[in-house]
Structure 1
């Protein structure tokens, strides 16, 4: 996710909000299956995949591990650290039919494009989408502008938030 330059637009997401949004994603795609497996894109896709798998009753969960952030702020070259297991790919006819790919966010679409190349017939679902990546996903819940930085609950602790009109504290 490309972090915006000033003025910074931020979208903080609480655990409660993320859980509601992940359940909404499951509800939205519930009629699109049947899905035999979920492939989640780690790490961000792990949490929504757990919620979606529970809601849809999908027990086969696989990961594809792609590193796209080599230093927190900048997206570097994409590296596939772990491929989708061969038995899941084979089960899906080699192209992803019957597979649900889940991630937390599609940003520029670079990661989604890599996964689409591997599983072109999979249904791709993300909780949040930005305009550049949105064409690569089939289903999402909330769209945010390209220059918005999403603060996911696993990245935050409890801290004071200044009012929007006041700007950053410093």
Structure 2
């Protein structure tokens, strides 16, 4: 069952999220997760999911935060091209997740392929329950088999275009 924040949908184009809005989204996601049962482990999708995962770990009182690098863009520029399939680096970094309730955390879901790949990796590492949380769902790019709102468990907000997060430098997106 997907849960989405009641917050407003971001307009089309490029959305610049500021820290207060990110804190609000993470706080809302933490409340929704807690209502469904606090997971035992958070898995951050590197790089973008690292910051929200650490923030969520503090909100939820969890110390078991793991990471895996799964990327689907060729670089960090605005509207960067996608690779044919998500690229995974060092999936062994997940460790043994046998019997664990796991929450996968990413900053944004675009096509849905990164989350699908990460979910397979986490399930393959033995997780007994796998949920996912994203701060932003970019509905313009969604190509997943399921509708976006059915594929992600917790969505902070919805955007219709590229999202720039507060931890990203603006000049990085102007190339």
2:26 matches 1:22: yes
What are the ranges of 5 or more consecutive residues in structure 2 without an aligned counterpart?
1-11, 124-128
Residue 94 (structure 2) aligns with: 85
Residue 10 in structure 1 maps to residue 14 in structure 2 = yes
CA RMSD of aligned residues (A): 1.9
Matches within 5 A, 1:54-73: 54-72=58-76, 73=80
Residue in structure 2 matching 1:106, options 100, 104, 109: 109
Greater RCO (Cα-Cα under 8 Å, separation 6 or more): 2
TM-score by length of 2: 0.74
After superposition, the Cα gap between the structure-2 partners of 1:79 and 1:27, relative to the gap in structure 1 and judged at 3 Å, is: same
Please point out which of 137, 147, 155 is paired with 1:140.
155
Output the TM-score relative to the length of structure 1: 0.76
Give unmatched runs, 5+ long, in structure 1: 1-7, 93-97, 159-170
Question: Which of structures 1 and 2 has the bigger CA Rg?
Answer: 1
The number of residue pairs the alignment matches comes to 143
